């Protein structure tokens, strides 16, 4: 898997405007290659729906066939990239902005579900993992320029974190949500 990220074009982003596809891509990135049947079971879908969503992801370059696995009957898929990054200010047409908005809705649905599962699993975490979990927020008064510098700093810091190849290491989610407080900034 390419350890760099993909910054999709508005046309590519259309494939990620459905929460199932965002979940599916996440599973392939975290758990590795899988068949449509395996993904169907994990996502609670039928294999026809799963195959359809995989084709949509493949057409836009998010997943590729894993030709080193399977046989003539089973088709294996893997994520083509490790991360997806987007520029929420991108989109020069109303259609491109609508696509970005639909994508962001899907991402937030999946992130919210993941956040809820983490709270539900918190009591069962091994003792050494419990202090690594936080559900914190800060509401700061910032100008758009200062807010952008803060986001850039957080993203830059994430770029410096190297994954560990250690038996004690586990997938660890860092979700960064930064936005003007809803209802407090008037639109144009």
How far is the C-alpha of 21 from the C-alpha of 170, rounded, in Å? 23
Encode pLDDT of 29-61 as tens digits.
999 999 999 999 999 999 999 999 999 999 999
Query: Which of the four pLDDT bands, split at 50, 70 and 90, describes residue 3?
Result: low
Looking at residue 2, its pLDDT comes to 45
- Please say if the pLDDT value at position 103 is more than 90: yes
Question: In percent, how much of the chain has pLDDT > 90?
Answer: 74
Mean pLDDT for 167-187 is: 88
Mean pLDDT for 173-183 is: 88
CATH number for region 2-139: 1.10.10.10
How far is the C-alpha of 98 from the C-alpha of 77, rounded, in Å? 29
Average pLDDT of the chain is 91
Looking at residue 101, its pLDDT comes to 93
Encode pLDDT of 59-86 as tens digits.
999 999 998 887 767 899 999 999 898 8
Looking at residue 87, its pLDDT comes to 81
How far is the C-alpha of 145 from the C-alpha of 155, rounded, in Å? 15
Query: Which of the four pLDDT bands, split at 50, 70 and 90, describes residue 1?
Result: very low
Residue with tokens 């449509």: 36
- Please say if the pLDDT value at position 105 is more than 60: yes
Looking at residue 88, its pLDDT comes to 80
Question: In percent, how much of the chain has pLDDT > 70?
Answer: 97
- Please say if the pLDDT value at position 188 is more than 60: no
- For residue 19, count CB atoms less than 10 angstroms from its CB and return exposed for 0-12, middle for 13-18, buried for 19 or more: middle
- Please say if the pLDDT value at position 145 is more than 50: yes
The DSSP element (H or E) to which 83 belongs, if any, is strand 81-84
How far is the C-alpha of 46 from the C-alpha of 19, rounded, in Å? 16
């Amino acid at each position: 898997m390419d350890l760099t990220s993909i910054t999709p074009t508005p046309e590519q982003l259309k494939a990620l405007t459905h929460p199932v596809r965002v979940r599916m891509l996440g599973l392939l990135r975290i758990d590795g290659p899988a068949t449509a049947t395996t993904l169907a079971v994990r996502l609670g879908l039928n294999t026809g729906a799963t195959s359809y969503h995989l084709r949509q992801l493949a057409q836009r370059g998010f997943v590729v066939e894993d030709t080193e696995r399977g046989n003539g009957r089973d088709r294996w898929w893997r994520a083509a990239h490790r991360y997806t990054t987007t520029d929420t200010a991108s989109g020069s047409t109303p259609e491109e902005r609508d696509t970005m908005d639909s994508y962001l809705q899907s991402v937030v649905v999946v992130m919210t579900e993941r956040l809820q599962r983490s709270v539900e699993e918190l009591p069962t975490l091994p003792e050494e993992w419990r202090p690594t979990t936080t559900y914190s927020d800060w509401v700061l008064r910032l100008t758009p320029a200062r807010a952008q510098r803060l986001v850039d700093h957080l993203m830059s810091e994430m770029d410096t974190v190297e994954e560990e190849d250690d038996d004690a290491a586990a997938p660890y989610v860092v979700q960064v949500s930064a936005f003007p407080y809803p209802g407090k900034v008037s639109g144009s």
